[in-house]
Structure 1
Amino acid sequence: MKVTINGTAHELPDGATVAQAVRILTANRSGVAVAVNDEVVSRGAWDSTALAEDDRVEVLTAVQGG
C-alpha cells in the first residue's frame, strides 16, 4: 500500500503500523511524535495502529541545539 511519510511516498506492506513507518525514518523512540492524517497517535498506540492506503504520516523528532 502507498502512504506518504513526511511528504514522501513510501510503499508499505498491507497492515503496516505506525511503528513500522517511524522506523523508516528513525530508530529513536524517544523525542518522536507522530500524526496520521493530522491526528496525533500516542506512543503507546504505535504498534497497534494500522495504516491504510493513502494515509499521511508526519514523524517529528526533537532536535537539540543552541
Structure 2
Amino acid sequence: MKVTVNHKSYVLDEACSVEQMLSVVLQNEAKGIAVAINQNIISKSYWSSQLLQEGDQVLLIKATQGG
C-alpha cells in the first residue's frame, strides 16, 4: 500500500496502523509528534488502532522548543 508522509511516498504493508507506520518512517521512538491523516488530527490513543488506507496523506509535526 502506498501512502504519502510529509510529501514523501512510502510503501507499507496492508493493514498498517499509524503506530506501525511511525516505526517505519521515523525508525525511532515517536516522542513529541502530532499526526494528521488527510488533514484530520489523530489522537495518540488511537495510533495503534487507526489503520492507514491506500493513498492517505499523512502529516507528521514535531514539537520544538524555543520562542
- Range of TM-score over shorter length: 0.7 to 0.9
Q: Identify the residue that residue 5 of structure 1 maps to in structure 2.
A: 5
- Distance in 2 (CA, whole Å) between partners of 1:25 and 1:18 is 12
3-state SS of paired residue (1:57): strand
Give the share of equivalent positions with the same residue, in percent: 38
Question: Segments of 4+ in structure 1 off by > 4 A?
Answer: none
Unaligned runs of 5+ in 1: none
Equivalent runs, 1:1-66 vs 2, <5 Å? 1-23=1-23, 24-25=25-26, 27-65=28-66
Deviation for aligned residue 1:26: 5.3
Task: Normalising by structure 2, report the TM-score.
Answer: 0.87
3-state SS of paired residue (2:58): strand
RMSD: 1.5
Task: Normalising by structure 1, report the TM-score.
Answer: 0.88
The total of aligned residue pairs comes to 66
